[in-house]
């Protein structure tokens, strides 16, 4: 094929980008070289629209071993143990082919983790679908859930937590974000930086096929009416092969053979070889005839751009080839020496004894485009004056039942029951709590992890929304008794070429960075997913935050289920009755305008750290953060989990009961304590300047709001669990 400007545009490149390629090469690229540039310079691989802003995020901390720039982030949890973790998107593939898209998303993120020498110990996910009434939603949900479960279950890795939401903005572009945690010894972490000259470059894993070609480019484009034509770009996964690959790689890693290792994810052999060469300031020479292929007559273009799954690229020490081959032969996996490191600082590809590509590495990485795109600053929406007469016909119990059965609040048990959450035997807090928790095998330590997002708040005001979602992650970890350590993020937005969308991204990142820095909660890995839109209509901005924290002794872990009658229930943090952008205002009063709740970072940090002090002193029996749906929703979930009721008291300051019960003020927790500890707890809270309300006592059977408003636990359970089960059974 003759390469020209139109061919370049068909590959997703802009006219000026093609001109820059010709200038850098001082010639016209051939089709293989153009394919390589299109893969490395697309949004998914180059971060060309986001790098300028991401560099301002806080990425260092006393527990951070590896921040952004590697396959995953790494944090120190003591005793020579480290946690490797990352979250990544697989949005476009999952909309096109939900089972395989979601499955390979899980497989890809697990490879990112075990590539660094870590054994995966937990999976999480953040999945977002269109309106439940939309014709595609149910099938997409079913396919995605089955794909996540199918791959993770076969790998023998528990899925311990997740988040699911529904919003019409995802009708034409669902989001599937997958997260994995792995455990590794600090002195056995592996990196992707190639080193040394003449070192053998090894291909291992599955054979290369024609599936997934242009997968990375597809992920950097908007959808249109020709979406079905993109199915061949979706990768096909095989979890059983990945399990073999995991065990083989970990066995090889137990020795001293590996110099560098990189999984073949987005852009396949192209990105893995170029990233290794770039980090090592080396060249790599590859003989494409030696790449194991499962289809006949594959071209160099196809081999380099295939995103066939379950593959790795390794740089070995000289003389270790036979030793390594024996390991991969034992696990019945392909093993081939396909090239070597060179001093050329180029990617040089040979096929049928001809050089088919000759590209300086720096043209693909250091010289890749970086845009400071135009963006619009969002205005803080005007406050909504809610009139008291709007409440007069409302009954608290009716409102509560409606909120508990809302698709974004209701129990997601139908989903997580399809995931194996106990395999490996170390899961000590299952899905359905504030965070999932797994023991560090053979120790008293436990690791907590959660995934959160807040599209509504970010849509209303991206700067506030960015702060909020970091704080939400912080609170979820605190609520199970974990000290928050670090986060990973998956930033899902519309087209960066749209100034409004780009503004949402920029301000969201600013808010995220501000909160992370203040809370000492650094960002150690992440992913940006742009072009989440169909026909120029983008999704609500949806940053997903995966938070990780440490519990020094797993016996001190806290759950949200109420424990004992006559215990006192406190709300930690000030309630001012913020209703704008609350679920109450949107779903009950049909008002979608107004600002999101304010974020007070001092209070977030102070309240959270004080809660941890109370947990350390064994004062807190159960805890749950207050988020979507406000105090009464959070309290109802605690009642449901513990099959206990609460007799509420009126707060000691004037505020409408609907504002108090359903407002979504931030920085708040509900905690259960014993009556005998009340004075000491109050003393600690007051000493630390933490506001609290005593709002009730635990009882055995019902949630009693006042003399006229009460509901049994069985009825709460019914309201909370029935919607999703009924929806998926029809």
Between the CA of residue 67 and those of 46, 63, 85, 124, 191, what are the distances in Å? Answer: 17, 10, 10, 20, 12
Round to whole Å and give the CA distance between 190 and 407.
Answer: 42
Round to whole Å and give the CA distance between 248 and 332.
Answer: 9
Q: Single out the catalytic residue among 11, 53, 90, 720.
A: 90
Q: How would you class 694 by CB atoms within 10 Å of its CB: exposed for 0-12, middle for 13-18, buried for 19 or more?
A: middle
Triad 198, 201, 207: Cα angle to 5°: 160
Structure tokens at 534: 């169909």
Question: Which residue bears the tokens 């001012």?
Answer: 576
CA-atom Rg of the chain in angstroms: 26
Q: Is 90 a catalytic residue?
A: yes
Q: Is 92 a catalytic residue?
A: no
In contact, 531 and 477? CB cutoff 8 Å: no
Cβ atoms within 10 A of the Cβ of 134, count? 15
The region, left, alpha or beta by phi > 0 then psi within -120 to 50, assigned to residue 579 is alpha
The region, left, alpha or beta by phi > 0 then psi within -120 to 50, assigned to residue 546 is beta
Round to whole Å and give the CA distance between 583 and 629.
Answer: 6
Alpha helix (H) residue ranges in 259-378:
268-280, 300-305, 321-330, 361-364
Structure tokens at 679: 């004075």
Instruction: Report the Cα 673 to chain-centroid distance in Å.
Output: 33
Q: Single out the catalytic residue among 11, 44, 421, 624.
A: 44
Q: Within 13 Å of residue 64, how many CA atoms lie on the same side as its CB?
A: 19
Catalytic residue numbers read: 44, 90
């Amino acid at each position: 094929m003759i390469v020209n400007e139109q061919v370049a545009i068909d590959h997703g490149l802009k006219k000026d980008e093609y001109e820059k390629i010709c200038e850098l090469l001082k010639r016209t690229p051939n089709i293989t070289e153009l394919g390589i540039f299109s893969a490395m310079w697309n949004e998914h691989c180059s971060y060309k629209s986001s790098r300028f802003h991401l560099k301002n995020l806080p990425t260092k901390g006393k527990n951070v071993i590896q921040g952004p720039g590697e396959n995953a982030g790494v944090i120190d949890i003591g005793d020579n143990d480290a946690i490797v973790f990352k979250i990544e998107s697989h949005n476009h593939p999952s909309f096109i082919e939900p089972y395989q898209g979601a499955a390979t998303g899980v497989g890809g993120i697990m490879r990112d983790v075990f590539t660094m020498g870590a054994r995966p110990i937990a999976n999480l996910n953040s999945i977002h679908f269109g309106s439940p009434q939309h014709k595609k939603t149910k099938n997409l949900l079913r396919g995605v859930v089955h794909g996540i479960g199918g791959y993770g279950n076969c790998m023998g890795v528990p899925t311990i937590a997740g988040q699911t939401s529904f919003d019409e903005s995802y009708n034409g572009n669902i989001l599937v974000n997958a997260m994995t945690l792995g455990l590794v010894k600090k002195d056995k972490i592996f990196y992707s930086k190639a080193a040394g000259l003449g070192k053998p470059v090894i291909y291992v894993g599955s054979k290369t096929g024609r599936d997934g070609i242009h997968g990375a480019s597809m992920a950097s484009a908007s959808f249109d009416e020709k979406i079905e034509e993109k199915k061949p770009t979706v990768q096909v996964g095989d979890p059983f092969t990945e399990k073999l690959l995991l065990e083989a790689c970990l066995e090889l890693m137990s020795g001293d053979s590996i110099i560098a290792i990189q999984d073949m994810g987005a852009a396949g052999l192209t990105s893995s070889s170029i990233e290794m060469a770039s980090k090592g300031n080396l060249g790599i020479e590859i003989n494409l005839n030696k790449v194991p292929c499962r289809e006949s007559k594959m071209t160099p273009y196809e081999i380099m751009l295939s995103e066939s799954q379950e593959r790795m690229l390794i740089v070995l020490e000289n003389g270790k080839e036979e030793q390594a081959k024996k390991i991969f032969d034992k696990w019945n996996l392909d093993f081939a020496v396909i090239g070597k490191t060179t001093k050329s600082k180029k990617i040089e590809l040979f096929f049928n004894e001809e050089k088919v590509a000759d590209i300086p590495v720096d043209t693909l990485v250091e010289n890749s485009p970086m845009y400071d795109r135009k963006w619009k600053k969002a205005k803080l929406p005007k406050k909504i004056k809610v009139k008291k007469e709007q409440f007069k016909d409302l009954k608290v119990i009716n409102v509560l039942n409606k909120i508990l059965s809302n698709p974004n609040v209701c129990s997601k048990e139908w989903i997580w029951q399809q995931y194996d959450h106990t395999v490996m035997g170390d899961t000590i807090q299952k899905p359905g709590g504030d965070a999932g928790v797994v023991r560090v095998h053979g120790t008293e330590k436990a690791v907590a992890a959660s995934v959160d997002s807040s599209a509504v708040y970010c849509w209303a005001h991206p700067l506030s929304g960015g702060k909020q979602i970091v704080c939400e992650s912080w609170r979820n970890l605190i609520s199970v008794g974990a000290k928050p350590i670090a986060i990973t993020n998956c930033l899902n937005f519309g087209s960066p070429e749209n100034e409004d969308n780009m503004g949402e991204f920029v301000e969201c990142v600013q808010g995220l960075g501000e909160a992370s820095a203040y809370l000492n909660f650094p960002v150690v890995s992440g992913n940006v997913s742009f072009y989440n839109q169909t026909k120029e209509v983008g999704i609500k901005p949806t940053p997903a935050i995966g938070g990780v924290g440490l519990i020094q002794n797993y016996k001190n872990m806290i759950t949200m289920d109420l424990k004992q009658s006559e215990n006192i229930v406190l709300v930690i943090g000030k309630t001012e009755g913020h209703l704008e952008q609350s679920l109450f205002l949107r779903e009950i009063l049909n008002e979608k305008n107004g600002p999101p709740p304010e974020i007070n970072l001092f209070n977030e940090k102070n309240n959270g750290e004080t809660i941890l002090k109370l947990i350390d002193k064994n004062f807190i029996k159960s805890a749950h953060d207050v988020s979507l749906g406000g105090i009464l929703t959070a309290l109802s979930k605690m009642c449901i989990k513990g099959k206990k009721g609460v007799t509420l008291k009126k707060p000691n300051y004037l505020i409408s009961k609907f504002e108090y019960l359903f407002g979504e003020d931030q920085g708040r927790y509900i905690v259960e304590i014993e009556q005998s500890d009340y004075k000491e707890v109050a003393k600690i809270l007051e000493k630390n300047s933490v506001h609290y309300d005593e709002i009730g006592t635990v009882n055995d059977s019902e949630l009693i709001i006042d003399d006229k408003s009460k509901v049994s636990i069985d009825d709460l359970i019914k309201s909370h669990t029935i919607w999703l089960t009924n929806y998926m059974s029809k």
